[in-house]
Amino acid sequence: MLGKTDESHRKTFFYYLTNTLEAARVGDWKLHVAKPRVSRESEETEKDVSVVPAPVIDDDVEVKELYNLRADSSEQHNVYDQHPEVVAMIMREIEQCRADIGDAFTDTKGAHIRDIGKVEDAHPLTTYDENHPYIIAMYDKNEVG
């Protein structure tokens, strides 16, 4: 992007959904450790089987899934049990990440996460000026579009 190199200096990529660490990728390997539980149960399905409700994402559940993305880019063949050394290596990276920035799934508060900022005597930084020319959206003007 800056003309220096196409390679990233990062060797590990972490996948978060909100504050939950769900997976990590190192090279061709991707290890999933948590996934959202998806449920389609509802009162409507109990009454009428023709009703298909939208999925409801519940709490996360622990998973043990390892994929070689070079050989299996669609993540269909879990090879977790066949490669314990890869799992251990990626889990070390995951534990370092959790210690650094946290993980809601394991209730780990990262050492480098700060609490939400609070401001005493908070007040707006800008004021409303009805005569300012940029307060009217262009689509609200009759002479536009």
- Looking at residues 14-40, what average pLDDT do you find? 89
In the predicted model, is pLDDT for residue 136 greater than 60? no
pLDDT of residue 109: 93
In the predicted model, is pLDDT for residue 24 greater than 80? yes
CA–CA separation, 41 vs 53, rounded Å? 8
pLDDT band at 145 (very low <50, low <70, confident <90, very high): very low
Closest CA to 111 of 124, 91, 97, 127: 97
> pLDDT for 50-84, tens place per residue?
655 555 555 678 899 999 999 999 999 999 999 99
pLDDT greater at residue 134 or residue 98: 98
pLDDT of residue 110: 94
pLDDT of residue 85: 98
In the predicted model, is pLDDT for residue 116 greater than 70? yes
CA–CA separation, 87 vs 120, rounded Å? 47
β-strand partners of 35: 61
pLDDT greater at residue 2 or residue 86: 86
**Ramachandran region, residue 63 (left: φ > 0; alpha: ψ -120 to 50; beta: rest):** beta
pLDDT greater at residue 110 or residue 2: 110
Report in angstroms the alpha-carbon separations of 124 from 36, 58, 120, 127, 128: 38, 37, 12, 7, 10
Closest CA to 58 of 88, 20, 12, 97: 20
